[in-house]
Chain A
């Protein structure tokens, strides 16, 4: 039991340390969140499991706490990341934004089979050069 407890303790401390290191080293909000969410999920989970093994009387509470942390930490990180993205936080090294959408005032929705409102209007006149006005006495 003690060996298992110490093993989980070391795992938790390792992930907590790596999360803090990542928070210091990584360049933007999203990668830092990726690192710190490891602290609040795997790191905490390791520590509560360690407490369950090292202090058996606390096991039910520790396991319940671990489960709650396991489910809530990723949701919290995702919510923070989403608000950061919507707020325009920079994504370092991004080459193509596959989820970016630009919202504009739509001119018109074309639909297969539907006539467009300007169907009967004559086509616009081509851009022809405007002749210069004649000078007096030139005609």
Chain B
């Protein structure tokens, strides 16, 4: 039952594409929380947002790993494996 993610090699040093959901800013919509794609830096909105642009970005270009772009949060989500990843120091 060992959890594993086979997409860790897709992580790149990225630059955020925008300081907000890139696609929501384009259409003038709002969002709830932000996610940043770790393959290209696309900033999209979460699944609780009206347009779910982070999920749409994965559906479109298959970049599997996103990271929270929110202050004080520290986790990754792999869309392909549907798996949460957290920093190792948080295991205690």
| A interface list, Cβ under 8 A from B | 88-91, 94, 96-97, 100-113, 116, 118-119
Contacts and interface: CB of A to CB of B under 8 A. Distances in A.
A90 B11 contact: no
A88 B15 CA distance: 37
B90 A103 contact: yes
Contact of B16 (A89, A97, A102, A110): A110
B28 interface: no
A98 to B, nearest CB: 9
Contacts of B1: 88-91, 94, 97
A111 B19 CA distance: 10
Contact of A103 (B8, B70, B86): B86
Contacts of A107: 11, 13, 38
Given A110-B68, A118-B15, 8 more contacts: A94-B1, A101-B84, A102-B86, A104-B8, A109-B67, A109-B74, A112-B19, A112-B20
A56 B18 CA distance: 75
A129 B42 CA distance: 27
A109 B70 CA distance: 9
B83 A110 contact: no
A97 B19 contact: no
Given A94-B1, A110-B36, A116 B86 contact: no
A96 B13 CA distance: 30
